[in-house]
Amino acid sequence: MFKSVARAINFLLGKSFQNQHIFLSSSLEYLKRPRHLNKNYFDYVRLSTLELISNEINKKNLTGNVAELGVYKGKFARFINLYFKERKLYLFDTFEGFDERDVNTEKKKGFSSGSQNFSDTSVKSVLELMPYVKNCIPVKGFFPESAANIKDEFVFVSLDADLYEPIYEGLKFFYPSLVTGGYIFIHDFNNDNYPGARKAVEKFCAEQNISFVPIPDSAGSAIICK
């Protein structure tokens, strides 16, 4: 019954929805295992892809930890912590917004103004969101300098730093430490407001002769699998 209603809505309002970048579609109709998704996280594609990937990693018993570079308020990191509850989660961020060094590079290359304000966050407020806070390791500071003493292997990494330089440096840092079968999410790959994200991924992948897969989440992420 619900599918019939959804199809009718698509038929009547599909064009209007598409103009607003909203799509009604079925998903994983024949998957029988229970899935833990939060109805209040609006970007279904991004969260659902994370859940599916976490299932693959955990099912294969891959050894390694997880990380996010560009945590902001921790809304996505919260689910990384949830889906990888037995693993350490490194939270890399200035927790004060964009660093001027990255902004200057962004402007010089003509990618964006870097003017968006992400300073309304803190380590404390992020940790308060985490369901398994004891496994969280906040790493505050300018990346990659902040990661100088991090020696670990990773099964999953989220890069959500928006700007060209930290994304490129993030790929350089994390990809060598990514285990075989691990994944890197790069947010904003198809976000025309931050074209440096795409440039960073394309440059790194060309240098390493590796491929990526774009997905249609809200900001158009790309995924690298090792």
**Are 191 and 167 in contact, with CB atoms under 8 Å apart?**
no
Model pLDDT for residues 121-149, shown as the tens digit of each residue = 999 999 999 999 999 999 999 999 999 99
Cβ(204)–Cβ(215) below 8 Å: no
Q: pLDDT-derived band of residue 15, with 50, 70 and 90 as boundaries? A: low
Nearest to 91 by CA among 133, 61, 119: 133
Greater pLDDT, 96 or 17: 96
Chain centroid, CA 104 distance in Å:
23
Stretch 168-179: mean pLDDT: 98
The yes-or-no verdict on residue 16 having pLDDT over 80 is: no
Name the DSSP class of 74.
Answer: -
Question: Which tokens in the block code for residue 133?
Answer: 């806070």
On the 0-12 / 13-18 / 19+ scale of CB atoms within 10 A, 120 is exposed
- Mean pLDDT of the region 165-188: 98
Query: For residues 30 and 185, which has the higher predicted lDDT (pLDDT)?
Result: 185
Confidence of residue 2 (pLDDT cuts 50, 70, 90): low
What is the predicted pLDDT for the residue at 28? Answer: 82
Give 14 or 49, the one with higher predicted confidence.
Answer: 49
Instruction: State yes or no: pLDDT of 19 exceeds 90.
Output: no
Asked whether residue 41 carries a pLDDT value surpassing 70, the answer given is: yes
Return the domain boundaries, the chain.
Answer: 1-30, 31-225
Residue 26: pLDDT over 90: no
On the question of pLDDT at 12 being above 70, the answer is no
Answer yes or no: is pLDDT of 105 > 80: yes
Phi-psi region of 209 (alpha: psi -120 to 50; beta: other; left: phi over 0): left
Which CATH code fits 31-225? 3.40.50.150
Q: Round to whole Å and give the CA distance between 175 and 97.
A: 24
